[in-house]
Chains A and B, each alone.
Chain A
Amino acid sequence: EAGVTQFPSHSVIEKGQTVTLRCDPISGHDNLYWYRRVMGKEIKFLLHFVKESKQDESGMPNNRFLAERTGGTYSTLKVQPAELEDSGVYFCASSPYVSSLVTDTQYFGPGTRLTVL
């Protein structure tokens, strides 16, 4: 079974440019999460989709970040315009939907390393 995939693996852009990151979750996983690790800091939650709906976007830094998951399959995270502090590794994770409070394991993709110059 294919795992979570992310594209691109690396992206180097200049301040003010736009970048779009893509995440393909494990097939059949309704939950899709975006996380970010900025240099020297811990991995932080950005937002969570259940199918195509945004369940929780409390971690999104500001309105320069836009996440979509049209059709409830893959997701994109667009940064426009990019700033220097956006540099970091962006991870995507997915998990199956559960109907109770029992936690399901989140499976992480390899991440996209974004460098803003």
Chain B
Amino acid sequence: RKEVEQDPGPFNVPEGATVAFNCTYSNSASQSFFWYRQDCRKEPKLLMSVYSSGNEDGRFTAQLNRASQYISLLIRDSKLSDSATYLCVVNIAFSGGYNKLIFGAGTRLAVHP
């Protein structure tokens, strides 16, 4: 079983749509959680961190359920520029101040006019 599971998609949605991505993780020692965005042939870039209380950044809302080991990302009012692969990432922190990121395989989003 993969440590971080995501629906690979692709999700094809029209501009203005609301789209939700889900992710589950298996390591209960996971300390923190992120959504990264990766454009084609580019490096992953941090989109937002995910907190238990849920957090929002403009059109993006992230949610974490530790009991279910489940993470979500909601994008409202999709723009063409949102087309990318969204990576669910969990972080396992070790004493000594370093951490290891575990990536999901990503969910591809294609927003069309």
Interface residues in chain A, defined as those with a beta carbon under 8 Å from any beta carbon in chain B: 31, 33, 35, 41-45, 48, 50, 55-56, 91, 93, 95, 97-106, 108-111, 113
Contact status B31-A111, CB under 8 Å: no
Contact status A103-B31, CB under 8 Å: yes
- The 22 sampled A-B contact pairs (Cβ below 8 Å) are A33-B101, A41-B105, A42-B87, A42-B104, A42-B105, A42-B106, A48-B100, A50-B98, A55-B98, A56-B94, A56-B98, A95-B99, A97-B97, A100-B97, A101-B31, A101-B93, A101-B95, A101-B97, A102-B93, A103-B91, A108-B44, A113-B41
A113 and B41 CA atoms in complex are apart in Å by 9
Contact status B97-A98, CB under 8 Å: yes
A106 and B99 CA atoms in complex are apart in Å by 9
A46 and B106 CA atoms in complex are apart in Å by 19
A110 and B38 CA atoms in complex are apart in Å by 11
> B102 at the A/B interface (Cβ < 8 Å)?
yes
* Band of interface residues on B: 20 to 34
Q: Which residues 31-48 in B have Cβ within 8 Å of A in the complex?
A: 31-32, 41-46
Q: Besides the contacts A42-B2, A48-B100, A109-B43, what 7 more A-B pairs have beta carbons closer than 8 Å?
A: A42-B106, A45-B102, A55-B96, A97-B97, A103-B93, A103-B99, A111-B42
**Residues in chain A near residue B94, CB distance under 8 A:** 56
State which of A43, A45, A99, A105 has its C-beta within 8 Å of the C-beta of B97: A99
Contact status A105-B43, CB under 8 Å: no
State which of B32, B42, B99, B103 has its C-beta within 8 Å of the C-beta of A42: B103
CB-CB nearest in chain B for A4: B43
Closest 10 CB pairs of A and B: A108-B43, A42-B105, A43-B103, A103-B32, A98-B97, A101-B93, A42-B103, A110-B43, A103-B91, A99-B97
A50 and B4 CA atoms in complex are apart in Å by 25
**Residues in chain B near residue A91, CB distance under 8 A:** 43-44
A90 and B45 CA atoms in complex are apart in Å by 15
Minimal beta-carbon separation of A37 from chain B (angstroms): 8
